[in-house]
């Protein structure tokens, strides 16, 4: 029986709540073996990002070649890519290794408000990486940045933005509504044919660090296990909702704490 394997290509979060660390925890929670390609080192905690050290593009390429040449990878999650050269290195690596089940979380700003993607990299992300994605998972501010417009304020505007994002070249779009002021947190999925409205109760907690990373890596985990995209998204949404609901069972730091990746196992 084949062991399901997923790879995260993302930055490291020294506080463990987001990035590579959140992705590997999520893979483990889904029973998926996780490998990683680290694109940046961050010095951060629950209060914010203190410093960023980018990994050289040639070393990112070397990590990708090492992992993909040996492991039978079932899905790829991509997170923080802060520089144009890094984005190009990742896109080229996906081409070299024929990776198509790619979940792209266009990480631009941390939960603390710190910028994680330089402005000049946005156009490179649009042109050179988004067309590689099976699905992209922007939140409302990220979707607005990709489209150079204002963030959506209602579900109708979210649907309009999903269609414009789909025109950038991914095979599907999942726009996340967690930043909205609505009583429900509603995500909208569209692949050109199937549209889904994915509501969840809005949970009153300050501990939401790593939510986007966790959702995208949960989708990748489902794909690695052989689920269809819509099934993987449904399971990922349910998992993240419970991880947020369980977040206050943890006491981590004094700022925006992490979601509870192991809410089903830790007592």
Active site residues: 176, 208, 210-213
Would you call 45 helix, strand, or coil by DSSP?
strand
| DSSP secondary structure letters along 82-147 | -SHHHHHHHHHHHHHTT---EEE----B-TTS-B-S-GGGHHHIIIIIGGG-SEE--BHHHHHHHH
The beta-strand segments (E) located in the chain are 5-13, 33-45, 48-54, 75-78, 102-104, 135-136, 173-175, 184-190, 195-201
Place of tokens 């909702």: 241
What letter would DSSP give residue 2? P
Quick one: tokens of 185? 């947190």
Quick one: tokens of 255? 């700022």
Name 6's bridge partners.
34, 75
Quick one: tokens of 11? 């930055």
């Amino acid at each position: 029986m084949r062991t399901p394997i997923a790879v995260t290509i993302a930055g490291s979060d020294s506080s463990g709540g987001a990035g590579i660390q959140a992705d590997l925890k999520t893979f483990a929670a889904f029973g998926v073996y996780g490998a990683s390609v680290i694109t940046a080192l961050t010095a951060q905690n629950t209060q914010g990002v203190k410093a960023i050290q980018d990994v050289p593009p040639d070393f990112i390429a070397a990590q990708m070649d090492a992992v993909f040449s040996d492991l039978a990878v079932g899905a790829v999650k991509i997170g923080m890519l802060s520089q144009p050269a890094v984005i190009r290195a990742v896109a080229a690596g996906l081409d070299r290794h024929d990776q198509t089940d790619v979940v792209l979380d266009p990480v631009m700003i941390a939960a603390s408000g710190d910028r994680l993607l330089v402005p000049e990299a946005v156009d490179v992300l649009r042109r050179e990486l988004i067309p590689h994605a099976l699905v992209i998972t922007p939140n409302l501010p990220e979707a607005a940045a990709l489209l150079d417009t204002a963030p959506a304020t209602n579900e109708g505007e979210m649907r309009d933005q999903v269609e414009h994002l789909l025109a950038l070249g991914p095979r599907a779009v999942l726009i996340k509504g967690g930043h909205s002021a609505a009583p429900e947190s509603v995500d909208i999925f569209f692949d050109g044919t199937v549209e889904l409205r994915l509501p969840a109760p809005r949970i009153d907690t300050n501990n939401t660090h790593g939510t986007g990373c966790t959702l995208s890596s949960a989708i990748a985990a489902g794909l690695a296990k052989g689920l269809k995209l819509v099934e993987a998204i449904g399971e990922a949404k349910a998992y993240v909702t419970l991880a947020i609901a369980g977040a206050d069972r943890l006491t981590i730091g004094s700022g925006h704490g992490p979601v509870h990746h192991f809410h089903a196992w830790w007592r």
